[in-house]
């Protein structure tokens, strides 16, 4: 007798939908929904990468600017780290 799980078909044991599972469902000839999900997952990946790159650029810019700041420019922000 096969093992019965509470995980819906198409999800991992952790209950997550993965690109590999979506592709497998597409290959099995299922309807349009897996195609839409795959497109959205691809778009999410692009957006996450863009956010990561923007955060890295901001960190680099911040670290480059910090040594140029005077005590008067830093003082108004002191409360955020020492408040």
pLDDT at 31: 65
pLDDT tens per residue, range 4-19: 444 445 566 776 777 7
Cα–Cα distance, 25 to 31 (Å, whole number): 9
In angstroms, the Cα distances linking 70 to 62, 63, 81 are 14, 14, 17
13 DSSP assignment: T
Give the tokens for residue 45. Answer: 């990946």
Cα–Cα distance, 18 to 7 (Å, whole number): 14
pLDDT tens per residue, range 27-60: 776 667 777 877 888 899 999 999 999 999 999 9
């Amino acid at each position: 007798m096969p093992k019965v799980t509470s995980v819906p078909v198409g999800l991992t044991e952790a209950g997550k939908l993965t690109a590999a599972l979506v592709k497998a469902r597409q290959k099995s000839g299922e309807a349009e929904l897996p195609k839409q999900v795959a497109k959205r997952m691809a778009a999410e990946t692009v957006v996450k990468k863009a956010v990561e790159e923007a955060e890295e650029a901001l960190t680099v810019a911040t670290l480059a600017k910090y040594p140029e700041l005077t005590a008067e420019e830093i003082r108004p922000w002191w409360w955020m780290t020492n408040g």
